[in-house]
């Protein structure tokens, strides 16, 4: 017997209409290329969303079209998210940090019809002129006064397009399984792969993100998403904020600028933010050298890469900011696990430190498991580590326009490519990417644990550990370190620092000091490039 409850579709339109009605006076503050502090409200934004929907329709954009963005976090990007998805089109956010050939591949693969972009990315698109035939028009996200010269044709000005449009738009009915947004993984091996979100997956992900042991935001919070809107929808914050009604502060292109971030936090009363570890390093460094404080900030999320304990401690002990570690990926919208606020007193210092660096606890809605090489499930004892697989309504079921997915098994589990442990309370800890694990004498060594330990040394700015061939042990860890400016640190001192902190046979067999370390377009250490760079290295005998 079926139940007798309404089957209302879970759509982004419903979140937008709710925000427009209930949180109409919520403020959005943005840094853009044409205004260092633009302000408007949800009500203003959604009026402009309707104008944009009209403008796109007039230009010939149709239901199911992919409409791309190449843009920083700001109010126009927020408006595009809603205008495109709620019109039944697909908002395809492109990461401008990818190589031009990858951007070209992605635009052609998605068959993008229009591209909305920040002035700063016009040169990138000029390089692709003639190579992206599906694109019918380019909309520059600025006003007439700031429109740049360009060699491209079919170029429109965002504000001029909106000017003459009506504030009324009749939103189409949308099936909750319709595609809403598209984001490509950075494709460290092979071409980038598209993850096509649905309205339903986005709404359910938003509900989960709103849980109090997850983001736990309230309407009196002020949220600054530093994680880019061009990669995995800024971890869902533009949707969460619409439902919660918290004020939004968008830093535009200034995402790694400690000074701008500090003044935004202080001027706008930011209480909550989200970003990758490198962003927090930049902010903490600025605070240390300037002596400034960030009194309004209560909590931040760190994710996208493993975060050293030193960042968590510095935030809490010097600035009274709680840091939540979260884990997820493009294929997961992205939230998979979230480390909730832990009780420092009850846990005691060492247990507190051990627990809080973990990638976090399972979120209702995502099933996790770890398996061995034979796909046999491993125990949740915090010790056994294996390939991490996931299932759930906001996990991709296959990739866009790719028939075959070697990441999904016959039972529908998605292999994340991460290697992890899970403890009896459901706290998961990533030990490595599966392609980066180091196997020494048949036993696995976690490169992430070693990197985090190295970064806890006061003279170390950044560290990477890669597995290199070894005569006796097949593979041994090689530590690569960037020292902090002016710091004195010898190889012996660095390696001795690991004693007592990790198993003795985990201690890297050698350490090299370097000036820089290769990163991917999403800011993660690129182990593939590092292994290539050091391919001729041999361990001292
Ligand atoms: P990409 O496009 O590079 O795949 P994603 O943002 O999808 O970008 O990256 C997801 C990967 O990032 C995860 O599979 C994991 O390896 C890594 N990652 C994310 N969060 C964490 C975390 N808290 N700790 C360790 N690694 C993480």
Domain positions in the chain: 12-255, 366-433, 438-533
User: Is 12-255 in CATH node 3.40.50.12780?
Assistant: yes
Long-range contacts: 524-528, Cβ < 8 Å, 24+?
524/304, 524/305, 525/305, 525/451, 525/464, 526/188, 527/433, 527/435, 527/436, 527/447, 527/464, 527/466, 528/188, 528/189, 528/435
Model pLDDT, residue 187: 62
> Which residues in the chain come in under a pLDDT of 50?
none
Active site annotation includes 413: no
Of all protein residues, the one whose alpha carbon is nearest to atom 24 of ligand 1 is 306
Measured by CA distance, the residue closest to atom 5 of ligand 1 is: 329
CA distances from 226 to 95, 272, 480 (A): 14, 10, 28
Alpha-helix residue ranges (DSSP H) falling in 391-507: 447-455, 491-496
Determine contact, residues 117/141, Cβ cutoff 8 Å: yes
| Residue-wise pLDDT tens digits, 434-458 | 888 898 888 889 899 899 999 999 9
Cβ of 359 closer than 6 Å to ligand 1, yes or no, is yes
Contact of 507 with 498, CB cutoff 8 Å: yes
**Structural class in CATH, domain 438-533:** alpha beta
CB 194 within 8 A of CB 187: no
Closest by Cα among 430, 483, 493, 398 to 194: 398
Is 185 catalytic? The answer is: yes
The verdict on whether 439 is a catalytic residue reads: yes
- Statement: 366-433 belongs to CATH 2.30.38.10: yes
Pocket test for ligand 1, best of 187, 276, 327 (most atoms within 8 A of CB): 327
171 DSSP assignment: P
Nearest CA among 508, 503, 499, 475 for reference residue 383: 503
Which strands, in side-by-side order, build the sheet including 460-470?
460-470, 474-483, 510-513
pLDDT of residue 404: 79
Q: Which long-range contacts (CB under 8 A, 24 or more apart) does 263-268 make?
A: 264/29, 264/31, 264/224, 265/224, 265/294, 265/296, 265/297, 266/292, 266/293, 266/294, 266/295, 266/296, 267/37, 268/29, 268/222, 268/224
- Percent of the chain at pLDDT > 70 equals 99
Q: Is the CB of 195 under 6 A from ligand 1?
A: no
Give residue-wise pLDDT tens across range 49-85: 999 999 999 999 999 999 999 999 999 999 999 999 9
Catalytic residue flag (residue 444): yes
Burial of 438 (0-12, 13-18, 19+ CB in 10 A): buried
Distance CA 280, CA 44 (A): 32
pLDDT value at residue 188: 61
* Residue 469: HSE in the Cβ half-sphere, 13 Å Cα cutoff: 7
Name the CA radius of gyration of the chain, rounded.
24
Task: Name the residue among 456, 450, 455, 457 with its Cα closest to residue 431.
Answer: 450
Q: pTM (2 decimals)?
A: 0.92
Does residue 327 have its Cβ closer than 6 Å to ligand 1? yes
Give which of 484, 477, 540, 538 is closest to 513, Cα–Cα: 484
Contact between 153 and 131 under an 8 Å Cβ cutoff? The reply is no
Cα–ligand 1 centroid distance for 376 (angstroms): 24
Dihedral sign (CA 183, 235, 85, 114): negative
Q: Is the CB of 312 under 6 A from ligand 1?
A: no
- Ligand 1 centroid to Cα of residue 178, in Å, is 26
| 406 neighbors 398 (Cβ within 8 angstroms) | no
Peptide bond into 334 cis (omega under 30): yes
Atom of ligand 1 nearest to the CA of 360: 23
């Amino acid at each position: 017997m079926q139940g007798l409850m309404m089957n209302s579709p879970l759509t982004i339109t419903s979140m937008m209409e709710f925000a427009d009605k209930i949180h109409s006076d919520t403020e959005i503050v943005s840094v853009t290329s044409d205004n260092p502090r633009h302000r408007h409200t949800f009500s203003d934004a959604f009026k402009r969303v309707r104008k944009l929907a009209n403008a796109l329709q007039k230009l010939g954009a149709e239901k199911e079209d992919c409409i791309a963005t190449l843009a920083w976090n700001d109010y126009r990007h927020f408006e595009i998210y809603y205008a495109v998805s709620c019109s039944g089109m697909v908002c395809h956010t492109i990461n401008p940090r990818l190589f031009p050939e990858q951007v070209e591949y992605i635009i052609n693969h998605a068959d993008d019809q229009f591209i909305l972009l920040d002035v700063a990315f016009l040169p990138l698109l000029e390089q692709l002129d003639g190579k992206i035939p599906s694109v019918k028009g380019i909309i520059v996200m600025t006003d007439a006064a700031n429109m740049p010269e360009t060699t491209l044709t079919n170029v429109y000005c965002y504000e001029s397009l909106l000017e003459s449009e009506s504030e009324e738009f009749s939103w189409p009915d949308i099936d909750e399984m319709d595609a809403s947004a598209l984001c490509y993984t950075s494709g460290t091996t092979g071409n980038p792969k598209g993850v096509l979100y649905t309205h339903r997956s986005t709404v359910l992900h938003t509900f989960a993100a709103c849980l109090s042991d997850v983001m736990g935001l309230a309407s009196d919070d002020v949220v600054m998403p530093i994680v880019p809107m061009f990669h995995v929808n800024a971890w869902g914050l533009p949707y969460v904020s619409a439902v919660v009604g918290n004020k939004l502060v968008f830093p535009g292109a200034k995402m790694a600028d400690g000074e701008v971030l500090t003044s935004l936090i202080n001027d706008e009363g930011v209480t909550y933010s989200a970003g990758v570890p490198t962003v927090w390093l930049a902010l903490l460094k600025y605070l240390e050298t300037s002596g400034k404080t960030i009194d309004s900030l209560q909590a931040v999320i760190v994710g996208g890469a493993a975060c050293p304990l030193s960042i968590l401690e510095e935030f809490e002990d010097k600035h009274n900011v709680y840091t939540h570690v979260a884990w997820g990926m493009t294929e997961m919208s992205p939230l998979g696990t979230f480390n909730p606020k832990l009780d420092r007193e009850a846990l005691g210092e060492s247990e507190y430190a051990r627990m809080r660096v973990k990638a976090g606890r399972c979120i209702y809605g995502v099933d996790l498991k770890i398996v061995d090489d034979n796909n046999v499930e491993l125990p949740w004892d915090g010790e056994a580590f294996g390939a991490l697989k996931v299932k759930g309504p906001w996990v991709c079921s296959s990739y866009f326009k790719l028939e075959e997915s070697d990441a999904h098994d016959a039972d529908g589990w998605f292999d994340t490519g991460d290697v992890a442990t899970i403890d009896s309370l459901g706290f998961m800890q990533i030990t490595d990417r599966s392609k980066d694990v180091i196997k020494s004498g048949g036993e696995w060594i976690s490169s992430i644990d070693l990197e985090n330990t190295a970064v806890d040394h006061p003279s170390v700015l950044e560290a990477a550990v890669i597995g290199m061939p070894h005569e006796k042990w097949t593979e041994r860890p090689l530590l690569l370190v960037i020292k902090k400016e002016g710091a004195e640190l010898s190889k012996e001192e660095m390696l001795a620092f690991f004693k007592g902190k990790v198993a003795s046979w985990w201690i890297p067999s050698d350490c090299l000091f370097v000036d820089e370390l290769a990163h991917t377009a999403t800011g993660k250490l690129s182990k593939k490039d590092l292994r290539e760079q050091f391919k001729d290295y041999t361990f001292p005998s």
